[in-house]
C-alpha cells in the first residue's frame, strides 16, 4: 500500500468500507491467514467510544463473530485503551466472565484509533429488556447476588496486573472534573459538601471496575454472561463498584435498588460469599450518592464535547439535558423528595400566526418517530429517537419556560444571588450553608422545573 493510500484510509476511517479493509488487513496477521470482514455494523450506545460488530471470515473454516471497540478517530487515548485491554485479560484469569480478548493496539494506523477486539458473547445488554421480558425472569431471580459475587472476583484481581491503574481521592477528583467544566451547579456544591462531611472509614484498595452497572453487562436467560466496558478501571475503594451499581438511573425505571434486579442485602450477601467480608450498607450508600453526583458531572462533560466542537453529536448534546435527572436522583438519595411541578403555559403570540413554533416542533418530532425511525436501523434509528426527544424538550421549554424563569429569579433573589453560578459560589465559599433547609428547598424546586422540561416522565420513576 502506498503512503498516499494510507493517508486516504486514515482520513476515511469512519467509512465502514474503509474500516472493514483495515480490520481484514490486521486480522490476517492476528489469525495467521487470509481473512475477510463481513456484516460490519456500528452498535448503538457508547457515547465515549465506538463499538462495531462484525464477522471475520477465514478462507477455510467457520466465521468468527468479533467486536471492535475503539476511540473516536482523532481523539485517541492510547494509555487508557492499553489499560482496558490489560484489565480484561486479568479479569478473565480471575474468573470474571468477560469477552475473550483477541487483539488490541494503540497505533492509529491500524484501525484509525487505539482499539481492542474481543470475541462476541451471546446475550442482551439493553436494560429495559432485561428487566421486563419473561425470558430473563430466571436470571433476574438471582442476579443481585450473582453481581455481588462477580464484583468480589473483580476486586480479587492483583493490582499489579493492571499497569497504569491510578488511585485518587474520590471527592477531590470529582471536584476537579466538575470545576474543569466551568459551569457551577448548586446541587453539585451541596453534594460535594455532604460527601466531604460523611466520608466512610477507609478499607484496603483493590482493582475497581469503575462502571459496573446494568447496561454494561451481557446477560443471557441463564444468567450473567460477560462484564463489559473497562475503560475507567482504577485502584480504589471496592465499595465504589457496589454503590455505582445502585445508582438510581441504572435501574431504568424499575424499583429494586440493585440495577433493577434485587435488594442491597442480596448484593452484599453475594459479595461476602466470595470476598469473605460484608461491606457496610451505609458506606455503599455514600458511594451511591457519590456515583449519582459523578454521573451528573459526566453527563455535562459529554455535552461539552459537542458544545466545544470536539465531537459534534446529537446524542452528546442531548445527554447534557439529562444532568437534571441525576440532580433529582441526588436529592432523593439525600432524603429530599420532589413536589409536583408547577406548569403554567405561556400565552401564544399571534405575531407569527399559525402554526406556532410549538406546532412546528411537534410536527418535527412526529416525523422523526413515525417516518425516520421506522425507515432506518442501528445508530441512525437511535439518533432519530434522541432527536425526537430533544425536540419534545424544546417544545416544553417554549410552553413553560417563561413562568419557570420568573420563579427561578424569585428564588435567587431570596438568597441575594444573580444567577446559578453566583448561588453555587456562595455555597462553596460558605456564605450559604449547604444544609440550610430553605436553600435545599429552593435548589430542589429548580431541579424539578428543569426535569419537568427535559424529561417529565422521570419524576414518576420509583426511587
pLDDT band at 46 (very low <50, low <70, confident <90, very high): low
- Is 60 exceeded by the pLDDT of residue 209? yes
Q: For a pLDDT cut of 70, what percent of the chain falls above it?
A: 97
Q: Average pLDDT for residues 405-431, to the nearest whole number?
A: 97
pLDDT score at 45: 64
Task: Verify cis geometry, omega within 30 degrees of 0, for the bond prior to 44.
Answer: no
CATH 3.30.200.20 domain residues, the chain: 3-119
Return the H-helix or E-strand segment holding 219.
strand 217-220
Sequence-distant (≥ 6) Cβ neighbours of residue 380 within 8 angstroms: 372
- Is 60 exceeded by the pLDDT of residue 143? yes
- Is 60 exceeded by the pLDDT of residue 6? no
Place of cell 440493585: 258
pLDDT score at 118: 98
pLDDT, one tens digit per residue, over 336-362 is 999 999 999 999 889 999 999 999 999
Residue 430, by phi and psi: left (phi above 0), alpha (psi -120 to 50) or beta?
Answer: left
Domain 127-167+205-279: give its CATH architecture.
Answer: Alpha-Beta Complex (3.90)
- Is 60 exceeded by the pLDDT of residue 7? no
Judge: domain 3-119, CATH 3.30.200.20.
yes
Helix ranges restricted to H, 112-231? 127-132, 137-155, 170-181, 186-197
pLDDT score at 218: 97
pLDDT band at 43 (very low <50, low <70, confident <90, very high): confident
Task: Note the residue count of the chain.
Answer: 463
Per the CB < 8 A criterion, the answer to whether 228 and 99 are in contact is: yes
Question: How high does pLDDT run on average in the chain?
Answer: 94
- Is 90 exceeded by the pLDDT of residue 270? yes
CATH 3.90.1200.10 domain residues, the chain: 127-167+205-279
Sequence-distant (≥ 6) Cβ neighbours of residue 205 within 8 angstroms: 159, 167, 235, 236, 237, 238
Q: What angle do helix axes 3-11 and 16-30 make, rounded to 10 degrees? A: 120
Amino acid at each position: 500500500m502506498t503512503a498516499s493510500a494510507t493517508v486516504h484510509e486514515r482520513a476515511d476511517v469512519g467509512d465502514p468500507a474503509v474500516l472493514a479493509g483495515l480490520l481484514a488487513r490486521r486480522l490476517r496477521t492476528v489469525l495467521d491467514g487470509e481473512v475477510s470482514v463481513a456484516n460490519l455494523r456500528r452498535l448503538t450506545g457508547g457515547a465515549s467510544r465506538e463499538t462495531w460488530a462484525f464477522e471475520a471470515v477465514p478462507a477455510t473454516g467457520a466465521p468468527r463473530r468479533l467486536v471492535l471497540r475503539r476511540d473516536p478517530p482523532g481523539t485517541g487515548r492510547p494509555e487508557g485503551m492499553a489499560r482496558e485491554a490489560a484489565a480484561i485479560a486479568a479479569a478473565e484469569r480471575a474468573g470474571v466472565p468477560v469477552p475473550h480478548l483477541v487483539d488490541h493496539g494503540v497505533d492509529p494506523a491500524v484501525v484509525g484509533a487505539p482499539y481492542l477486539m474481543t470475541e462476541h458473547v451471546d446475550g442482551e445488554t439493553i436494560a429495559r429488556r432485561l428487566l421486563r421480558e419473561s425470558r430473563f425472569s430466571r436470571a433476574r431471580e438471582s442476579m443481585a447476588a450473582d453481581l455481588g459475587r462477580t464484583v468480589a472476583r473483580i476486586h480479587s484481581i492483583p493490582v499489579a496486573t493492571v499497569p497504569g491503574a491510578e488511585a485518587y481521592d474520590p471527592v477531590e477528583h470529582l471536584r476537579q472534573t466538575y470545576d474543569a467544566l466551568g459551569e457551577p451547579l448548586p446541587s453539585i456544591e451541596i453534594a460535594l459538601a455532604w460527601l466531604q462531611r460523611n466520608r466512610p472509614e477507609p478499607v484496603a484498595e483493590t482493582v475497581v471496575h469503575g462502571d459496573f452497572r446494568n447496561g454494561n453487562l451481557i446477560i443471557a436467560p441463564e444468567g450473567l454472561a460477560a462484564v463489559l466496558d473497562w475503560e475507567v478501571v482504577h485502584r480504589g475503594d471496592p465499595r465504589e463498584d457496589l454503590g455505582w451499581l445502585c445508582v438510581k438511573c441504572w435501574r431504568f425505571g424499575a424499583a429494586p435498588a440493585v440495577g433493577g434486579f434485587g435488594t442491597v442485602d442480596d448484593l452484599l450477601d453475594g459479595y461476602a460469599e466470595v470476598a469473605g467480608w460484608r461491606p457496610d450498607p451505609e458506606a455503599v450508600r455514600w458511594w451511591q450518592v457519590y456515583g449519582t453526583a459523578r454521573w451528573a458531572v459526566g453527563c455535562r462533560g459529554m455535552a461539552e464535547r459537542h458544545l466545544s466542537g470536539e465531537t459534534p453529536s446529537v446524542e452528546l448534546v442531548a445527554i447534557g439535558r439529562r444532568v437534571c435527572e441525576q440532580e433529582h436522583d441526588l436529592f432523593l438519595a439525600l432524603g429530599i423528595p420532589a413536589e409536583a411541578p408547577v406548569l403554567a403555559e405561556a400565552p401564544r403570540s399571534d405575531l407569527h400566526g399559525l402554526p406556532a413554533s410549538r406546532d412546528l416542533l411537534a410536527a418535527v418530532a412526529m416525523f422523526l418517530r413515525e417516518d425516520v425511525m421506522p425507515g432506518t436501523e442501528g445508530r441512525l434509528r437511535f439518533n432519530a429517537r434522541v432527536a425526537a426527544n430533544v425536540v419534545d424538550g424544546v417544545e416544553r421549554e417554549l410552553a413553560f419556560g417563561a413562568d419557570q424563569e420568573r420563579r427561578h429569579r424569585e428564588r435567587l433573589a431570596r438568597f441575594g444571588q444573580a444567577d446559578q453560578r453566583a448561588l453555587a459560589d456562595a455555597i462553596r465559599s460558605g456564605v450559604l450553608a449547604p444544609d440550610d433547609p430553605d436553600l435545599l428547598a429552593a435548589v430542589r424546586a429548580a431541579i424539578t422545573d428543569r426535569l419537568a422540561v427535559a424529561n417529565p416522565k422521570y419524576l414518576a420513576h420509583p426511587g
